């Protein structure tokens, strides 16, 4: 299958190309035929960020983020397995805190297995929760948010 293709399932017919072939907005960008067009506001923000980064680098300062950790807590999509939990990713940012991207069911259990729950051990799951600054839920499918209630409940215990 490819873009701008129409497939009729019932009654069965062979695939046909849609009459409006200009509806494919991605392949020309991916192939380099058409440059990606950014909005003026986005382009302005990118340039502001580049100026700030350059200013910090010229001062000899190290930028935050050099030791950022991205920890996949679940990569099994919507179908967890014995070894792969449903979707969840933790970004640990030294000097700032942690960001949880999606919170699939079982995220707390995965955090407890990954970091341990012994409060005498530095970097345990309770510390990860205490340093949680943001939880980002990408969309409303259950495999992206069903673990949110337990995460918030456990976090309430430490804050």
> Tell me: the pLDDT tens digits for 129-146?
999 999 999 888 887 888
Residue 36 has a CB neighbour count (10 Å cut-off) of 7
Q: What is the DSSP letter of 67?
A: T
pTM of the model: 0.59
> Tell me: the pLDDT tens digits for 4-59?
666 777 777 777 776 655 555 556 666 667 777 788 998 999 899 889 888 877 88
Q: What are phi and psi of 138, to 5 degrees?
A: -65, -35
Which structural domains are found in the chain, ordered by start?
5-58 (no CATH), 69-158 (3.60.15.10)
131 flagged as catalytic: no
- In the block, tokens 């440059």 appear at 35
Name the catalytic one among 20, 118, 120, 143.
143
């Amino acid at each position: 299958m490819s873009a701008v293709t129409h497939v009729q399932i019932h009654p069965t017919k062979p695939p046909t190309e849609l009459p409006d072939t200009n509806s494919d907005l991605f392949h020309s960008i991916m192939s380099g035929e058409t440059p990606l067009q950014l909005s003026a506001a986005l382009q302005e923000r990118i340039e502001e960020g580049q100026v700030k980064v350059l200013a910090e680098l010229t001062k000899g300062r190290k930028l935050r983020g050099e030791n950022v950790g991205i920890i996949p807590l679940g990569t099994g999509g919507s179908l967890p397995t014995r070894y792969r939990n449903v979707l969840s990713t933790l970004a640990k940012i030294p000097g700032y805190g942690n960001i949880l991207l999606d919170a699939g069911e079982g995220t707390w259990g995965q955090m407890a297995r990954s970091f341990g729950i012994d409060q005498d051990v530095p970097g345990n799951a309770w510390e990860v929760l205490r340093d949680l600054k943001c939880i980002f839920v990408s969309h409303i499918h259950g495999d992206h948010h069903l673990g949110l209630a337990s995460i918030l409940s456990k976090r309430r215990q430490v804050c």
